[in-house]
Structure 1
Amino acid sequence: MYRVKQFDTTVDLAGFSRWLRGQGVPHRITEEGGHQVLWLEDPEHAEPVLAALDRFLAEPELREAVEHQNQSAVFVRGRWQPSPRHAPLVLGIIIFAVVMVWVTSMGRNEVAAALMVIDPRSYDWTTMAGRVDGLASTMASGQIWRLFTPDFLHFSWSHIIFNSVMLWFLGSQVEWFDGRGRLVTLFLVTSILSNGLQYMVSGPLFGGLSGVVYGVLGYCWLSQRRRPRFQFPPALVTFAVIWMVVGFTALPELIGLGRMANEAHLGGFVAGLGLAAILPVRKK
């Protein structure tokens, strides 16, 4: 621990301490010889923490705002644990995806065809020329939604559960720290690139939120290097990249997992990295 500052015992630091915990800042407040001492685990936090503390002590209205925020903190003992009210957009996406699993009978009825990039019954998509013609005709008819709706096609409960868990864990952080506008941009761009690449390589018979999940992961990983704010184990990125590479081999089919939407994973990941590189980091 790094000793930051000493205060008189008459100074009430309880609210500020709760706020620090809510921001995921490891710290401790001890009593020594009739004084309070603030300790931080990371000395790089000292300057912004002291600046925030000065404002906290000097501005009564800020103390009231901090107490209000403490009541809805998204960190519990420094760990990211949001509730639905912290990321309603991500929750809405997940709920809609789960509903579509039921509506499409896991991609096995006619409704599923309306969610694919093109209607596979109306076009010859077995060749690249056929896929290009089918996509051009579909877009010209105004069915723009088909660029995004494959995200909501899932073919098993394990498929939707895994994607939902990952999207909630990472997407909720993007919505909270960087705002819903950034999350919407990330969702739209990664959907277009991941679904478009997968379609051009293999045709319309695919679906799932995994392209978006890979996009959010790529965004969080690269943007985190510019300004740390997201919580996820570094090994998660390594595992995801290795799994993406494995997907391009015959191993998943050999072990009974079937063919994976590898191009969607790659397209989403590249899109997420690109957005992290060009979009400014939101200061919150």
Structure 2
Amino acid sequence: MRELHTFADEQVAHRFISILQSRQMPAHAEQEGASWIVWIENDDHRDKARELLTEFQANPDAEQFAEAEKTAKRILAEKLEAEKTRQKLRKDLRDRWRGVWWKCHPVATIMVAISVFVVAVSTELSPVKFTQRIIPVTCNLETSVIRNSLFIQETIKMVDEEGNDAAGFLNKSPTEVLKTWQIWRYVTPIFIHFNALHILFNMSWLRTLGNAIEFVRGTRRFLGLVLFIAVVSNVAQLIWSGPAFGGMSGVDFGLIGYVWMKGKTQPQHGLALPQEQVVMSMLWMLLCIGGAFGPIANAAHVGGFLAGMVIGARTAIWKKIARS
């Protein structure tokens, strides 16, 4: 560090420092009595700084110095903004690593809570009904306003064979929702679960994969991913079998496909699935398609799985297209 010049005016000293900094020559000023000493921080810049000082003293109002001041102010503003961003990132990382759910995986946790809430308010408890004799039936309250507002199409009031109120549907057109502007219905069937095993299985996968993806990729990306998979899987099931379906499994299979492809194409993101887990998931899907577990939303499973794979591999796909 070398002393460059002594200025009598503080404002002039700082103005010249701005000019130096705009030319990528770090400098600072120190007060000594009524004067201000400008120090050049890198000895390699000393000769250039002296030349610039001579030009500045000859014509301090030259246009090049006015532009240099603007450049220095912009550089300073960028540095301050970058520092604010770094501070915010450090704070966010500290909060996330503390493990609090509203910082680590708020969307995944809220999705689990909504699913449990829907089951709680849409299940007929007196008497408790069972499927396959041991598994409690859920979301079987036909008059539940909450449950019926979540199906992909608006329900109509009907009467079943025993004379009880029941919910039914008019048709299976995928554009019916657009006509009523109830576009949330393209997503909300994911929160309806029809028995205890159904919700336990789906929530287990959602917590395992959803928490990991949201933590690694961020809340906004995870929310966008879930919405995309939900729409694709729900519309696929609507076209295949009609509107009487529900469950998070389409999204779960989508998350499986997403993590699988991320691990294959971008392992640096820290998301991957063991090969045997992928094989077991695909085997489970095939068993469901084969009818081993009764009526299943197979189109939602397949559609969600493919949608997740496409999103997980999209960066690699675009790169391959760009090279061709």
Q: TM-score, normalised by structure 1?
A: 0.63
Q: 1:247, 1:260 within 8 Å by CA — same for their partners in 2?
A: yes
Q: Which residue of 2 aligns with 1:102?
A: 120
**Corresponding residue pairs, total:** 201
Residue 51 (structure 1) aligns with: none
Change (3 A) 1:70 1:233: farther
Report matched runs for 1:186-225 at 5 Å: 186-225=225-264
**1:184 aligned to 209, 220, 223, which one?**
223
Question: Which residue of 1 is the match for residue 156 of structure 2?
Answer: 121
| 1:259 corresponding residue in structure 2 | 295
Residue of structure 2 in register with 1:146 after alignment = 185
- Aligned residues: percent identity? 29
- CA distance 1:183–1:66, change in 2 (3 Å): closer
Question: Which residue of the partner structure matches residue 239 of structure 1?
Answer: 280
Please give the residue correspondences for 1:18-37 in structure 2 after superposition, counting only pairs within 5 Å.
none
Pairwise CA distance, 1:120: 4.2
Tell me how far apart the structure 1 counterparts of residues 242 and 96 of structure 2 sit (CA, whole Å). Answer: 45
Aligned pairs for 1:42-57 (under 5 A) are none
Q: Is the 8 A contact 1:120 1:204 kept in 2?
A: no
Contact kept? 1:124, 1:131, Cα under 8 Å: no
Structure 1 consecutive aligned stretches of length 4 or more whose deviation exceeds 3 Å? 65-74, 122-126
Question: What residue identity is the alignment partner of 1:248?
Answer: I
In 2: Cα distance, 1:69 partner to 1:141 partner: 43
The structure 1 residue matched to 2:312, chosen from 260, 273, 276, is 276
**Residue type matched to 2:139 in 1?**
G
- Helix, strand or coil: the match of 2:172? helix
Q: Name the CA distance, whole Å, in 2 between partners of 1:119 and 1:68.
A: 41
Bigger Rg, structure 1 or 2 = 2
Asked whether the 8 Å contact 2:260–2:272 carries over to 1, the reply is no
CA deviation map 1:238-277 (0-9, x unaligned): 111111111111322xxxxx31111110010000011112
Query: What is the alpha-carbon distance in structure 2 between the residues aligned to residue 107 and residue 233 of structure 1?
Result: 34
Q: In structure 2, how many angstroms separate the alpha carbons of the residues matched to 1:274 and 1:68?
A: 29
State the distance in 1 between where 2:92 and 2:175 align.
Answer: 52
Instruction: Judge conservation of contact 1:218–1:273 (CA < 8 Å) in 2.
Output: yes
Relative distance call for 1:142 and 1:239 in structure 2 (3 A) is same
- Aligned-partner Cα distance in 2 for 1:178–1:199: 30
**Distance in 2 of aligned mates of 1:190 and 1:159:** 19
Q: Secondary structure at the match of 2:283?
A: helix
The answer to whether residue 212 in structure 2 is matched with residue 173 in structure 1 is yes
Distance in 1, Cα, partners of 2:313 & 2:92 = 34
What is the TM-score with the length of structure 2 in the denominator? 0.56
Query: Which segment is superposed worse, 157-166 or 210-219?
Result: 157-166
**What CA distance in whole angstroms lies between the structure 2 residues aligned with 1:249 and 1:223?**
29
Conservation of the 8 A alpha-carbon contact between 2:106 and 2:219: no
Distance between the aligned counterparts of 2:100 and 2:207, measured in 1? Answer: 10
Whether the 8 Å contact between 1:97 and 1:153 is mirrored in structure 2 is yes
Unpaired segments ≥5 residues, structure 1: 1-61, 75-81, 253-257
